[in-house]
Amino acid sequence: MELNYNKDLFKDILNMLSIADKRCQTLRASKVVLFNSKQLSILKEKEIESTVPYYQEVSSGKFSIESKDSDIVDAFKKIQISIEKQL
């Protein structure tokens, strides 16, 4: 009973918003649907996992790049710079 009341109240509030705010004039709520999901909320932010390397880099980043393709050469140069920064 309370859930149906809340659904109707929410629908009425959405329709009043279309009158109160010019930006929402095209908003019309004809039906409000609620569902129960076992999935995590899409609004929750995922925690960022630590990406600290747990090993000592053994490469020196000094290697020859023998490709003639400039995209590949640029990619390997970025790898070299990344390795040198970890030392």
CB distance 28 to 17 below 8 Å = no
Specify the amino acid at residue 30.
S
Of all helices (H) and strands (E), which one includes residue 77? Answer: helix 70-86
In whole angstroms, what is the distance from residue 42 CA to residue 84 CA? Answer: 39
pLDDT at 19 over 80: yes
Average pLDDT for the chain = 79
Q: Which of 16-20, 51-55, 81-85 has the lowest mean pLDDT?
A: 51-55
Q: What is the pLDDT of residue 44?
A: 63
Q: What is the pLDDT of residue 39?
A: 65
Specify the amino acid at residue 52.
V
Look at the pTM and tell me if it is higher than 0.95: no
Q: What is the pLDDT of residue 32?
A: 79
